[in-house]
């Protein structure tokens, strides 16, 4: 708004009309001003509480990490419980059950075949794959069923050349099914 002053030092407002609405220099509504003042005071308190006081307010990243840790603890507890109940004989029994081996084959083909091949020979169309053959009698870290399960669960002891730990991606029962499938293929 433009203002003019005349010789008597009085302020004269120009007419300002837009779309039939006349605007003058009027005071803002009280509800609007109180809302503005409350938000300014709230900002000062929130800023002091968050940045200046030694209050530990977790951010979203810390909350997410906490939730992931709880999930991982539950998964590890399930895996430990299952590992305590499984022995060499129970894994050999699983390898004779077609439902376990069929589920293990499906998991093996999606997760393991890229390194060990579909036929467990560590080759595909004559090309050597990075994994070791699972069809021969030569095993680097033991050929007992529980040894195989430990390797699938925890990965290879040699992290530079070996396999990753699948316990973060597969449940305990899925790992047991994969081991049952490997045992079934070895015996056939």
Contact 143, 137 (CB under 8 A): yes
* In the chain, domain spans: 12-52, 60-187
Q: Please choose, from the candidates 11, 10, 13, the residue with its C-alpha nearest in 3D space to the C-alpha of residue 25.
A: 13
Spatial distance between the Cα atoms of 53 and 178, rounded to a whole number of angstroms = 53
* pTM exceeds 0.85 for this model: no
77 by DSSP, 3-state: which? helix
Q: Is domain 60-187 classified as CATH 1.10.760.10?
A: yes
| Residue 39: per-residue pLDDT | 98
| Those residues with Cβ within 8 angstroms of residue 22's Cβ, 6 or more apart along the chain or in another chain | 15, 16
Question: What average pLDDT does the segment 96-125 reach?
Answer: 88
pLDDT tens digit sequence for 120-164: 888 888 888 888 888 877 778 877 888 888 888 888 887 777 788
Q: Which two tokens stand for residue 173?
A: 């029962």
| Residue 10: per-residue pLDDT | 65
């Amino acid at each position: 708004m433009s203002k003019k002053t005349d010789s008597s030092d009085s302020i004269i407002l120009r007419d300002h009309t837009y779309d039939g609405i006349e605007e003058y220099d009027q005071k803002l509504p009280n509800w609007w001003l109180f809302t503005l003042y409350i938000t300014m005071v709230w900002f000062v308190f929130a800023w002091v509480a968050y940045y200046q006081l030694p209050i530990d307010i977790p951010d979203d990243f810390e909350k997410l990490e906490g939730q992931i840790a709880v999930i991982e603890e539950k998964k590890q507890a399930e895996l430990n419980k299952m590992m305590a109940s499984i022995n060499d004989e129970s894994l050999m029994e699983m390898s004779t059950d077609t439902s376990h081996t069929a589920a293990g084959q499906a998991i093996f083909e999606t997760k393991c075949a890229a390194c060990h091949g579909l036929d467990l020979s560590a080759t595909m169309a004559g090309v050597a794959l990075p994994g070791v053959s699972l069809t021969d009698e030569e095993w680097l870290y033991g050929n007992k069923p529980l040894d195989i399960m430990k390797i699938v669960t925890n990965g290879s002891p040699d992290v530079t050349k070996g396999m990753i730990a699948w316990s973060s991606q597969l449940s305990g029962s899925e790992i047991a099914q994969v081991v049952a499938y490997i045992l079934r293929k070895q015996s056939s």
